[in-house]
Structure 1
Amino acid sequence: MLIDPPHMLTTSRLCQVSCVKDIENASRIIFPGVGACGQATEAVQRMGYREALIDYLKADRPFLGICLGMQILFDGSTENGGVEGLGVVPGTIRQFDTSLGLPVPHIGWNNLIPKKESPLLNCVGDRRVYFVHSFAAFPDEENKDWVLATGEYAGEFVSTLQKGNVYATQWHPEKSGAAGLDFIHGFLDPEWAAAQPRLDPSASRASNGVPRGLAKRVIACLDVRANDHGDLVVTKGDQYDVRESADASSGAGSSKGEVRNLGKPVELAGRYFEDGADEVTFLNITGFRDSPVADLPMLEVLRQTSRGVFVPLTVGGGIRSFTDAAGVHHPALEVAGAYFRSGADKVSIGGDAVLAAEAYYARGGVPDGSTAIEAISTHYGAQAVVVSIDPRRVYVRAPEDTEHVTVETATPGPNGERYCWWQCTVRGGREGRDVDAVQLARCVAHLGAGEILLNCIDRDGAGSGFDLELVKAVSDAVTIPVIASSGAGRPSHFSDVFRETGAAAALAAGIFHRREVAIAEVKADMARAGIPVRQSA
């Protein structure tokens, strides 16, 4: 929780709440929150802030609640088995209905639908803003006086609240690029907000022909590892080989050269933010693994990036329980917490998810609470957990030749096989396991993952397009969002995967790093195809 002491109206002068007196003496409060409602309300109660917050809000003093900071204002939430809120806003927070056919969590850039005029909405204008949540408030007669704006996702939900000087957003201003920063600026400086052009709620928001609603996301991925000199660099390789071929004239005596260096992580992430990437993903492929909590360079990359990149950041690599060299055990929740505190919004779990799935199916498909996915999801919410799947094609002549989920493929195998399944791998694609991509996706969704990053070893670096059959098979099998990865070579490949599958997002690395394709080109192609897309401005 952040407070703005009297006469300190710049974000650089915000202070963190450390006691009840801070709440009582603040001129403004910003209450951000990411996680599960039960943990948030328990923390407010444990720290003794509950009554002070209720008194502050009922006195109509300036307040901005963000995500969980909005949800705890309600009477309660059905999350975590049911929890009591502050009771300031009538109603109960409920989960989105997955039976309506849309992925849950609701993740990505969506439009605001104004219900009344407000200087703060004028600060946002027609721009999309970023949401990431599984639970929401829904407009009704009891809370209609509070509803400033709604959103559309499997029906109408409450996106923004306002009554007097109390504001709250289900969306994340701090992750909504320039639109979100303008919103926060307006909250901190009401005179500046009042000078912004008036937003006409009846005006068309699709003057460029791009449909409204949840946009399909374009994600820039940065594979980060230490080079031979110990410096972190962004690299990329085909089928996970990230070293250059050695110069035969150098006399190195090896077929492998230096780690391929495509730039510095913080600088590239900043470039992609400016270019209009909807999210940035860091995949830490350094072989440190003995002590992820002590991986200070990667934690520093996150800290520096989050100071200037105002879109969501995901980090993967080493998110697991481990025992360090001193014999101290560190649970996965602690590892994830270190990354979250350094600026990550989501963590990505890879090979450990495959091992968790093997144990899950061995138990007959029953969760036991022991996995990193379950621990992190329970504490931080499903939206904080991404599972990265690294599968490769296995061809069979007929579905009955395997126990795995198969599809009839338009790309027959080397011996004319007409069916295939996708074998999950671990250890950077070097080891195959007896779990297929659909099985793994269903398992991790049940365990509490909020999103799937779906790679494809066969397509990695090929530039021939995403494996549409794989993406369709997995996105059809689960009710959580799927990110397509591996194989993009031109802008139309993104439009193809969004038209032909249920993918919620698509990710690329090398083509962006090498400037072969610009993010703006990808979004322009999507807009021409009638696919909802966030404009970079």
Structure 2
Amino acid sequence: MIYLLDYGAGNVRSVRNAVQRLGEEIVAVRSPADIELADKLIFPGVGSFGSVMHRLIADGYAEPLRRRIAENRPTLGICVALQAFFEGSEESPGVPGLGILPGMVRRFDDGQLAVPQIGWNGIRLHKHCSLFADYQSENLYFVHSYHAPVQGLPEEWLLATTDYGVEFVSAVCRGNVAAMQFHPEKSGAAGLGILKRFLMDDRISCRPLPGQPVTTPTRLAKRIIACLDVRSNDQGDLVVTKGDQYDVREAGQVRNLGKPVELARRYFEEGADEITFLNITAFRDFPLADQPMLEILRRTSEQVFVPLTIGGGIREFTGSDGVFYSALDVASEYFRSGADKISIGSDAVTTVEQVLANGRPNGKSAIEQISRVYGAQAVVISVDPRRVYVTSPQQTNHAVIETVFPGPHGERYCWYQCTVKGGREGRDVDVVQLVRTCEQLGAGEILLNCIDRDGTKNGFDLELIRQVKQQVKIPVIASSGAGTATHFQEVFEQTGADAALAAGIFHRREVGIGEVKNLLRDSGIACRQ
């Protein structure tokens, strides 16, 4: 029997779906005794170190897990599960780990790095392992702010390392016990291959590598993200649509560019590094269990094995059943349905307004709640700014740039006003105030749209992206305006953006994901092939 140690973590559905995709059945651990019964155990870790350990201890799982590992019984840990093998973590001071491995998990030095590390990086194997028998230097998906140092790790455990500012432990293995910092269930075909060998082989075998170990540094790849705007059409069906400046109607009907699940699967097969769903229809009056996007996520996660982000309506609300749902309740249901990250838009603007007015956060915002439980890497802030031109910096209190694109009356300066309600309403908050405050509240990534460029195909707003990249240490996704493969090359070379997102040009096959990646590769820009 294959068991999944589901202790209320985030997106464990993807692990279950990956196992089933490989033709095996998996059941959830229901009691500490199941940990002893399992022939093979998968221990996923999603969220913060402290929340993971607290749940393991509260549910009585920690001690049976220690015994199982000590007995060398087949066990596979994923992401925070690897970190839980250590004595503790800087993420949760005073919270003890399982103590299987000596030392403390450390936060990445964010001096020159975007933290969390989010995206596709390589690994460097330090010994031959049957789990990686077919591994051919493919990139694997990482999403974490904390890492296990190589120094102090017993040599018998060290399996693989990766570089991100420092060399860190990306996989450990001893006997039939292995753990990985990356997510095999989100690493496409390469990750599924690793899972398959754990499930199919009777035992894990490791032996020294022949010859000298590889010392070539690994590189974090730039991500190409496909975005699907989902809404109901006039017949009540959920469709992928796209409009210019948020006008999604054509000849009186909602523009229909495909079915969400089918289109997401197509992008996965074409090599998209992530899929983002943006819910642009207000579904909030439904009871939470009946939210239409939940079914989209469930079905997509059965067929798509790269990260999924969901945005739109992630906030507290009272459903038509009269039940109140907190933002954390909503996010938790989306995570359990297959989402890896939650995107927060208009609610982030409202939160920042309150923080600026009060001088401090209240700890109750959706950003803070979700980040505390699931970690910063689970929270994406979707920003919809637009240009406001001024004749001089002294004309406004907001963060101004000098632009090479003058305003309608020749203005040489502008600031970026944050908007809500799909860009239809501006607020007295600029993009710098928003992203810096959201980072302080615990957000792990910025999805940076630009209303002025949306649908223009004139390229990304490089000035906006540069301004935001200079203000935050968390990753920034460039969005709005892509019309050619060259635009992706430009945004990476000229702004340092961590990822780039597009919708319409991919939907209509005007530009292919493969075309973009081939150009990036030929330009010397790291990307997952």
Confirm or deny: 8 A CA contact 1:262 1:513 kept in the other structure.
Answer: yes
- Which residue of 2 is the match for residue 316 of structure 1? 311
2:242 aligned partner, one-letter code: K
**TM-aligned CA deviation for residue 290 of structure 1:** 2.4
Off by >6 Å, runs of 4+ in structure 1: 191-195, 198-201
- Which residue of 2 is the match for residue 428 of structure 1? 422
- Which residue of 2 is the match for residue 438 of structure 1? 432
CA distance in 2, matches of 1:497, 1:11: 41
Residue 458 (structure 1) aligned with residue 452 (structure 2): yes
CA distance in 2, matches of 1:447, 1:488: 30
Residue 270 (structure 1) aligned with residue 265 (structure 2): yes
Identify the match of residue 132 of structure 2 among 109, 112, 121: 121
Q: Superposition pairs for residues 382-421 of structure 1, below 5 Å?
A: 382-421=376-415
Residue 170 (structure 1) aligned with residue 184 (structure 2): no
Residue 75 (structure 1) aligned with residue 92 (structure 2): no
- Residues 222-252 of structure 1 show CA distances to partners (whole Å, capped at 9, x for unaligned) of 00000011100000000111011x3xxxxxx
- Residues 373-400 of structure 1 show CA distances to partners (whole Å, capped at 9, x for unaligned) of 0000000000000010000001111111
2:225 aligned partner, one-letter code: I
Q: Superposition pairs for residues 7-406 of structure 1, below 5 Å?
A: 12-99=24-111, 101-190=112-201, 212-244=218-250, 246=251, 257-291=252-286, 293-364=288-359, 366-406=360-400
Gaps of at least 5 residues in structure 2 are: 6-18
- Assess, with a 3 A threshold, how the Cα gap between structure 1 residues 299 and 199 changes in structure 2: closer, same or farther: farther
CA distance in 1, matches of 2:287, 2:522: 43
- Assess, with a 3 A threshold, how the Cα gap between structure 1 residues 83 and 11 changes in structure 2: closer, same or farther: farther
Q: What TM-score results when the alignment is normalised by the length of structure 2?
A: 0.93
Moved more, 312-321 or 65-74: 65-74
Confirm or deny: 8 A CA contact 2:129 2:204 kept in the other structure.
Answer: no
1:330 aligned partner, one-letter code: Y
- Assess, with a 3 A threshold, how the Cα gap between structure 1 residues 65 and 481 changes in structure 2: closer, same or farther: same
- Assess, with a 3 A threshold, how the Cα gap between structure 1 residues 4 and 320 changes in structure 2: closer, same or farther: closer
1:219 aligned partner, one-letter code: I
**TM-aligned CA deviation for residue 292 of structure 1:** 6.8
CA distance in 2, matches of 1:324, 1:258: 28
- Which residue of 2 is the match for residue 533 of structure 1? 527
Over aligned residues, Cα RMSD in angstroms?
2.1
**TM-aligned CA deviation for residue 122 of structure 1:** 2.7
Confirm or deny: 8 A CA contact 2:283 2:291 kept in the other structure.
Answer: no
1:77 aligned partner, one-letter code: S
Confirm or deny: 8 A CA contact 1:315 1:347 kept in the other structure.
Answer: yes
CA distance in 1, matches of 2:234, 2:168: 51
Moved more, 231-240 or 15-24: 15-24
Confirm or deny: 8 A CA contact 2:311 2:342 kept in the other structure.
Answer: yes
SS in 2 for 1:233: strand
**TM-aligned CA deviation for residue 178 of structure 1:** 0.2
Confirm or deny: 8 A CA contact 1:113 1:150 kept in the other structure.
Answer: yes
- Residues 42-62 of structure 1 show CA distances to partners (whole Å, capped at 9, x for unaligned) of 111111111111110001111
Confirm or deny: 8 A CA contact 1:62 1:166 kept in the other structure.
Answer: yes
**TM-aligned CA deviation for residue 82 of structure 1:** 3.5
- Residues 334-391 of structure 1 show CA distances to partners (whole Å, capped at 9, x for unaligned) of 0001100100000100001001011111122x22202000000000000000010000
SS in 1 for 2:190: helix
Confirm or deny: 8 A CA contact 1:124 1:180 kept in the other structure.
Answer: no
CA distance in 2, matches of 1:312, 1:499: 24
Confirm or deny: 8 A CA contact 1:121 1:199 kept in the other structure.
Answer: no
2:171 aligned partner, one-letter code: T
Q: What TM-score results when the alignment is normalised by the length of structure 1?
A: 0.92
**TM-aligned CA deviation for residue 502 of structure 1:** 2.1
**TM-aligned CA deviation for residue 199 of structure 1:** 9.6
**TM-aligned CA deviation for residue 325 of structure 1:** 3.5
- Which residue of 2 is the match for residue 252 of structure 1? none
- Residues 435-471 of structure 1 show CA distances to partners (whole Å, capped at 9, x for unaligned) of 0111100010000000010000000000000000000
2:49 aligned partner, one-letter code: C
CA distance in 2, matches of 1:261, 1:200: 56
